[in-house]
Copies of this chain bind each other. A is one copy, B any other.
């Protein structure tokens, strides 16, 4: 039976995530994987989670297992509101920040509307934008038709995939442009609290709360198995997100929300964050030193001040998409950088995750990858 005739006009624009496709086929534990954006399981606060899962059932009882409010349970909204200094009315809990990106696109974008972003940018966001047939553009190629621009999507802190952070001046410039040309900014900031050096830069939301939808995530500060994020934004926009979310999934996972509320509301999150930051700083430093040690000349990389990724640029003659199967067969995985480019360019780049792989496995993994790259150069 041929099902294609039943598909909506959006379906041909659906993009598969090459990252998720890798995970579908490969046993990650059997290879050196720099591919995913997985946190290190050592950062999951197992003792807290064990303690809290009992405490949540004790404290909230059936309420933690019943349907909850579409906006999120009041206890979690309050804790988020207090941590980030934002009124409760400006907080919407999401079933992951991926859902946050998706629902923002859903309420703002018609087929053909322009979504601006940087290039490279987060693949999961590209998937969402394209699934609504947005015209995804950067500002590099000249001025867009401003009347069709709905929002600019930015990952200002330790960007996925580049690892780079927008300066305050760059944020202010973006805000000024948004005010001049009258568009919304979707600020995706799942790694903001994972800073390993330097001073935090004010969020775009803090600079332009009237036109920013700020996406937060529990995946990197708690555990991604609890599918939870949040949006901070103007009430008039959150109201449409709230109505849309009723039809999407009624409410975010309730037990998960009480777990997150107790974790964030107590000192447990901050204590765990200190440990995560120390662990990830060490891993980043190790990867930087291993790249220095093993990579041949002509390979360069970014120096992220936080987050989970750095970005490699290889000699132009090397195609990382073509190289991928060879690397995987040899036992090492990365994500080709071109997947993060709106136009699929930069085929000589790759995203490297330094959070997931155990420290002791990092050197053989980097050495293997360096050898493969050297083989291409020979």
Whether A61 and B46, one on each chain, are in contact in the complex, defined by CB atoms closer than 8 angstroms, is: yes
Total contacting residues, chain A, CB less than 8 A: 81
Which stretch of A138-146, A160-168, A248-256, A276-284 is in the interface?
A: A248-256
Q: Contact mask A9-30 → B, CB, 8 Å, 1/0?
A: 1110011110010011000000
By beta carbon, the residue of chain B nearest A182 is B5
- Given A3-B236, A46-B62, A225-B67, A17 and B246 touching (CB < 8 A)? yes
- Report which residue of A64, A67, A256 has the largest number of chain B beta carbons within 10 angstroms of its beta carbon: A67
Q: Contact mask A200-240 → B, CB, 8 Å, 1/0?
A: 00000000001100000001000111110000001011001
Whether A128 and B247, one on each chain, are in contact in the complex, defined by CB atoms closer than 8 angstroms, is: yes
Q: Is A108 an interface residue (CB 8 A)?
A: yes
Q: Is A68 an interface residue (CB 8 A)?
A: yes
| A→B interface (CB under 8 Å) | 1, 3, 5-11, 14-17, 20, 23-24, 36, 38-39, 41, 44, 46, 49-50, 53-54, 57, 61-62, 64-70, 95-96, 98-99, 102, 106-110, 113, 124, 127-128, 131, 150-151, 182-184, 210-211, 219, 223-227, 234, 236-237, 240, 243-244, 246-256
Q: Which 6 residue pairs are nearest across A and B when measured between Cβ atoms?
A: A225-B254, A41-B62, A65-B223, A65-B225, A127-B247, A53-B53
